[in-house]
Structures are given as structure tokens and as C-alpha cells.
Amino acid sequence: MAERWKPSVTVAAVVARRRDGAVQFLLVEEHTPEGLMLNNPAGHLDPAESPAQGVVREVLEETGRLFTPDRLVGLYLSRFQRPATGEDVTHLRLAFGGIVGPRDPALSLDQGIVRTVWMTLAELQASRARHRSPLVLECVQDYLRGRHLPLDSITTDPSVYTPEIKA
């Protein structure tokens, strides 16, 4: 019997601020098998957490900032073949919009994260070759288009936290 296909579920944050009249977006610069790349603060959903909890955790780990999600920007499905290893991966990304607090200097950034950086849309568009995935820019563009769903569009069943036991 063939192994069941299972996409990797990831959560990502789209964080915007206005600085000197321009809108800037929070990104992370990180080491990957393909080299130093740019990404939205993002990562894999862990067991026993809701997508909203996952994105808060990932943003804190990767930026040292507390993230408060206020909308679901969208759901994205992408497939990627890693040039370095030939690995074929499909990601299901849940992208959230929201705000961040100040950076907590007592927190170190996740392993592999070199720094955080704020970029304008023009800077993001000019750096496409360094994006970890095409979803980096796509999520930002959807955010700018005003695309959003309420957070309660995602329901996390209590069994995620405490699995049901079938007798």
C-alpha cells in the first residue's frame, strides 16, 4: 500500500508598519539549504496547538516579538523541490495578519535566523530571488489587497489538545 500523502502545515505572519510615510513588512533572513533567504516569520505547526497559537510561537521564536493575530490573510498550497537534496515538499500555509510588540532583547532568535528586517513592497519585489518561497510576496500582496477572514474562520477542536480515546 502506498504511503499517504501529507502536506507540511505551516503558519506565517504578515506584519506591517508605517515608517516615514511608507508601509514596511517584517521579514526574517535565515539560513536554508539553498543559502541565505528571506521569509515571513513562519514555521511548522506543532502538535497540540491551534494555528493561531502556532503563529504566535513562531513569531516570538524567529523575531523576539510578541505577535497578536487579528485576521486570517489566506490559505496557500505550494509545492517545492529542494535543489540541494531533491526533496519534494508540499506546504499548506495559513497566513495571519496582526501586530507585533517591541523586540525583547533577552530572547535569542531561533537557530538559523540571522536577523529581522523591515522591507517595503518595492524592496520585497526587488528581492524575489532571495525569497524562501513565492508565498512570501503573495501573502504580503493579499494583505495589501485587504484580503482577510475573521480568526474564528479556523476552528480547533478540543481533541487537538487532548485526543479522544475510543473504547
pTM of the entire predicted model: 0.92
Q: What is the mean pLDDT of residues 2-8?
A: 85
- Tell me which of 165 and 134 has the higher pLDDT: 134
For the segment 115-145, what is each residue's pLDDT rounded down to a tens digit? Answer: 999 999 999 999 999 999 999 999 999 999 9
- pLDDT class for 94, splitting at 50, 70, 90? very high
Q: Give the DSSP letter string of 129-147.
A: GGBSSTHHHHHHHHHHTT-
For the segment 12-60, what is each residue's pLDDT rounded down to a tens digit? Answer: 999 999 999 999 999 999 999 889 999 999 999 999 999 999 999 999 9
In the block, cell 526587488 appears at 126
Position 82, amino acid: R
Contacts of 30 (CB under 8 A, 6+ apart): 36, 37, 38, 39, 62, 112, 113, 114, 132
Q: What is the pLDDT of residue 5?
A: 83
Instruction: Of 67-71, 82-86, 126-130, give the lowest mean pLDDT range.
Output: 82-86
